[in-house]
Structure 1
Amino acid sequence: MTLQSVLQSLLTAFNSLGRSRKLLLIVLVIILLLYSLGPRLFGYGTYKHRYQDPNTACMAQNLIDFQSRIDNLDAFHSGDFADAVASKRMAYVGNGNIAAALGSEKGLYIRLNRALSQPINFWPVVQTRIEGSKKKSTVLDVKSGLAYKMQVLSSSSGCINVGSQLYAHRSRPALLVQDIRIQNPSTLPIVVEMDQIRDSGWEHVEIADASFTINGAETVKYKIYSSTVPLLKSDKVIAIAIASVSIESTTERVEANSIKKFHLLTAVHYTQPMLAEEAPKYLPDCIQQAKGELEKGLGINEKLLRQEHTHVWGKLWYSGFSISHSKASGAINGDRINRTLYYVLSNAQAPLHNVMSTQQDKTNIEKILYFPDNCYSGHSTLKSDTLWIEPEDESQIARVVTTWMITLEKLGCKLMVGAVKLTDPVTSVLYITSDHQHMQELKHAIHVKEINEAPAHEHHVIALHKHGHHFGGLPTIFWVSIALLIVVFHLFLFKLIYNEYCQGQERYSRSRYSL
């Protein structure tokens, strides 16, 4: 049987059908075509193969180890560095004593009042650059307190990788650690620029050279920077000393099929704010403390040093909570919550895990933690936009952290006063206290939108958070199919009514007057 005869027989069978059956068959064929061809016509449900840049493929290969953490919102990837917004490009690290960031043009930050908000004209992070068309990206692992910056360059022999890892050591709060790894699998040598700015615009800074021999074998050279730093909006100063490992050259040649590594430590020690005339006598002690912390860190194996750090961060994240993902516009989801909590923890000290804390100090801290008046009794923090902004630089992080610290401090059980009137979110309007400073800071801890009653969680509100719209979570093709079925049903119903009243009346008339 030929194709022509098959088509002719199908056409004959189709013509033999009645009008209603023809219409129903046509509608079914249209539905099948929309179901099968719809993804290609409207661009959903299928993957369109596109040319992938070799550098993009190299970057994707580097991100494989981070993918599970990124999916679980334990790590955050900036995407293409050139296109990323500032809040995602910055990979920030801190330990309550010092802070710095990869992907940022700012330098070192130290503690002032409640956050790491005091900038220092000192840049501890070594910037790496490689010639050629490359891809750059940053990853912030909030669960481990590690920041990564990756640069990749595709070659015929593989992917050239220049990676930096940065962390502010959690149990050794004076240490900032940067590990650089350069991998060259190509058949030609490459040159990597190493930009170590260190002090710039720091007035009256004194610089001294020093060295340290690790286990009687390798000698490491470092520099010591010491001076005073004027405080923001104050007439007081801080005495500070910074010991930082130096790199030998601003350019590094990496031979073919080889790997080069750099282990760079920075130790920072500073005093409490004081009058400018009192600060110089504290500088010698700061210098000795910074030297001692740096040399202790150099004497520890790189992997053990990092394991100490990540182990403490794991303990800090031990307790927590989960929240379902909301697709509503402007909703606060797990990614923003985890990132904000990480910023707060990075600005908070952890004396229980500090190697310099004595057993008596730790016992006293544990006793304080058992006091019931340290609980939080304020309003829901999820309703305040000021607590969940996306900071774009270190100063904005310090402002967010300060707001959090004031909120948690002033709305604790010990300092709360009974409410005179209720607001949304629920908080007190009138306070009576003898502490004027407490009242001045309390206004930064109250986050109120308006005074009214919160609406009930109706079905459309729940659907909005779960699916991003008010129509529930069924796919679009389902609603299209339902609409087509309704149309077909009404056409069929119209056909029945037409046959019953119009054609039936015509048959009756012919039978009545026929001879």
Structure 2
Amino acid sequence: MQSKSAFQLLYNSKLTNVSLRRVLFVIIISCPLVYYVFPSIFHYLRGSSTCSVESYIKSNFEKNTRLLQNYDAMYFSTLDKEVQNHGFPFVGNGKLGFVVDYKNPVFSLFLDLQDKQKLEQDVITHVKLPINLLVRPEHVSRNEERDDSSFVNFHHGIVQHFSCFKMDDSNGNCIHVNHTVVAHRSRPHLFLQNIELSTEKHLTYLDETIHLVKHDWTANTNFKQLTKYVHPSKEYKLYSGTIKVSKKMWMVVIVAVCDTPELISLKNGRTSIHQLNVVMHSKPVKDLSKVQALTQNVIEKTLNHMDEISKIDVRTLFQEHKNAWDDIWHTGLSIKMSTGSDPNIPEPRLINATLYYILSTLHSKLHDEHIRDDQKQSLLKRLQTPDFCFTGHPTVHAKKLWQYVSNTEELIELARLWSMTLRKKGCSILLSEGAEGFLQAIVLSFGGLQFTENDLQFNTNPDILHNQITFHHIIYKNDTIDISIKYIAGETSIQVSLTDDTVLPLYACEAGCSLPVVRLTKDAKTLPVYVTDPLTSILYISHDRQHLLDLKDTLHINKLVNHLEHMESKNSGLPMIFWVSIGTLIVLFHLFLIRIILKEYSSTTISKSSRNYYSNRGRLAS
């Protein structure tokens, strides 16, 4: 017997058309209701996970695509090894440094210039701390099926650690974690964490519990909890420990840790927590008893600092941090590599990575929240009038200075090498200012920009000018200047412009200053690129117009050609057909010579054979 479908049975039943329409209407209306009231039924019927760990990680990658395309970020993922760059997830502000790694976090103290102590021929610049302040969110089930990725945002000095792990249920639901970590740039003793937890939008009915794993770093160190403080808005614990920074030097370290709950409930499918930590230390001293005497003073400073930041909204603290980094980056470099360009010039991402990691080891004194007005004016003066910096060959081709680092040891060594190089080249005043001065010195050194008593000179190697390079916001006294090398269709020129209005007029002229002096404005002025014999700077900028006019008669130039002619003459040589002809003649000459030698050798052999023949005949006849 042929079976009938449910639809046929319904059609053949005695129900009227009106009743049938009512039944169908009820079914259609009830389906969405059942879906939202009993979603687990549909999850079971679908037989697959409602989320994908991989899709969440990749979605965060796509959100940061613009940063990556602009070379302002690095990406690390457990899913896609190919997109990883050399480097490591690191945040720092010149006082504190943190490697944001759940498996192997590293915490360091960076010492200021006035705190450095010369010990046994070494300068102590940083000290590793035996503590772990990094909070790690985990599901209470301890499900290990998870993936992670990290973004290092160079522009804002932020590491974002994205995690996604499956919950312990039959539906395979996921919890998303966005863990943001900063070493606060304008409050250099503050380590700030923000953790956002969420599930899929359609899973808000779930009530999940997250465990915040906090390492007990007091168990295996000499750090001890002093007491617990209750602030009107936050509770925190205070820890004290003594750190040995060398064979004979000690210092006390005080850490204030906000009290966060160990279990977090996601009743609405979304929540966030903030973790504030203050780390302060004394100066290194040789006598351990003196360290103990300094403890109370450091404790009082830590309590005052914690009391201050506890009154500030966390979003405000994050915005302060971003604003400080934005201001530091007002001076910078951008480079566009041309086809067939010099392979020794570092790629743009390597330049940005090097600058970020170096700046993360330096205190931004100018942006410190507690700086006095007189100190701020003194620092600004150092930036505006650095006397002499940079002298010597440009650092653009210095491979040791432009390299990726993968741990704190390599980072410290790279920072030391940069500091030594810049100091030897006359940039000590800029470096003493802090992060902003250091960045200014690096940018100047990249292209060979030099301050002198009367002007700012662009004393670069003409052979690198076939790339497009821009020096942003070079500080020259009270003005900031953009200098761009333009390389279009084989022609090279320089564009110079002011970024702000200037009180005193500012002038510029090209190599040799043979053309009329140009007054600079916000509108870019284009100057030709000339190469002189003997070599001189390709650009001069000064407030003294007469000084630039006098350069024409004081540079004593024997020859002046434009950059294109210089490159053509450098690359020119005898035509290929000449070398082919020379090679052919050499080959023919050797072939002719070989022929003569073989002919001579052959005739000599025949002559000897003839003599032997006649000689033998005589003896036989006899």
TM-score bracket for the superposition, by shorter chain length: 0.5 to 0.7
Shift of 1:267: 0.5
Q: Does 1:240 align with 2:248?
A: no
Cα deviation for residue 293 of structure 1 reads 1.4
Distance in 2 (CA, whole Å) between partners of 1:378 and 1:145 is 31
Match of 1:334 in 2: 348
Matched, 1:162 2:177: yes
1:273 alignment counterpart: 284
Task: Report the Cα distance in structure 2 between the residues aligned to 1:66 and 1:426, rounded to whole angstroms.
Answer: 30
Does the 8 Å contact 1:373/1:414 carry over to 2?
no
Measured in 1, the distance between the counterparts of 2:252 and 2:82 equals 37
- 2:333 match: secondary structure: coil
Looking at both structures, which has the greater relative contact order when contacts are Cα pairs under 8 Å and sequence separation is at least 6? 1
Q: Distance in 2 between matches of 1:269 and 1:311?
A: 23
Residues 298-447 of structure 1 correspond to what in structure 2 (within 5 A)? Answer: 298-325=310-337, 332-373=346-387, 375-412=389-426
- The 3-state SS of whatever aligns with 1:406 is helix
How much is the aligned-residue C-alpha RMSD, in angstroms?
Answer: 3.3
Query: Partner residue of 1:182?
Result: 197
- From 110, 113, 118, the counterpart of 2:127: 118
- Aligned equivalent of 2:269: 258
Distance 1:86 1:284 in 2: 46
Deviations 1:265-318 (A, max 9, x none): 110111222112321111111111112212222211111111111001000001
Secondary structure, in 3 states, of the residue corresponding to 2:332? coil
Match of 1:230 among 229, 241, 244: 244
Show the 5 A alignment for 1:4-43.
Answer: none
Worse overlay, 154-163 or 264-273: 154-163
Q: Is the 8 A contact 2:278 2:306 kept in 1?
A: yes
Alpha-carbon contact 1:115-1:401 (below 8 Å) kept: no
Change in CA separation of 1:297 and 1:150 when aligned onto 2, cut-off 3 Å: same
In 2 relative to 1, CA 122–198 (structure 1 residues): closer, same or farther, beyond 3 Å? Answer: farther
Kept after mapping to 2: 8 A contact 1:115/1:402: no
Seen in structure 2, the aligned counterparts of structure 1 residues 192 and 81 have a Cα distance that, compared at 3 Å, is farther
Aligned-residue sequence identity (percent) comes to: 21
User: What is the deviation of 1:106?
Assistant: 3.3
Residue 513 of structure 1: aligned partner? none
Which letter does structure 1 place at the counterpart of 2:133?
A: P
Partner of 2:226: 208
Question: SS in structure 2 opposite 1:248?
Answer: coil
* Aligned counterparts of 1:119 and 1:406: Cα–Cα separation in 2: 22
Offset of 1:382 from its aligned partner? 2.7
Q: Which has the larger radius of gyration?
A: 2
SS of the residue 1:321 aligns to: strand
For the pair 1:95 / 2:93, whether they are aligned, the reply is: yes
Residue 81 (structure 1) shift: 5.8
- Deviation track 1:307-330 (CA, whole Å, cap 9, x = no partner) reads 111001000001112112478877
> In 1, distance between residues paired with 2:309 and 2:124?
25
Match of 2:211 among 182, 185, 193: 193
| In structure 1, C-alpha distance between the alignment counterparts of 2:278 and 2:60, rounded to whole Å | 30
Residue 159 to residue 197, structure 1, CA distance change in 2 (3 Å):
closer
Per-residue CA distance 1:348-370 (angstroms, 9 max, x = gap): 11111111111111122222333
Distance 2:424 2:76 in 1: 35
| Paired amino acid for 1:96 | G
Q: How many angstroms does 1:154 deviate by? A: 6.6
8 Å CA contact retained: 1:184, 1:259: yes
SS in structure 2 at match of 1:209:
strand
- Which of 138-147 and 236-245 deviates more? 236-245
Where does structure 2 lack aligned partners over 5 or more consecutive residues? 1-50, 117-122, 430-445, 449-460, 467-622
Alignment coverage as a number of residue pairs:
366
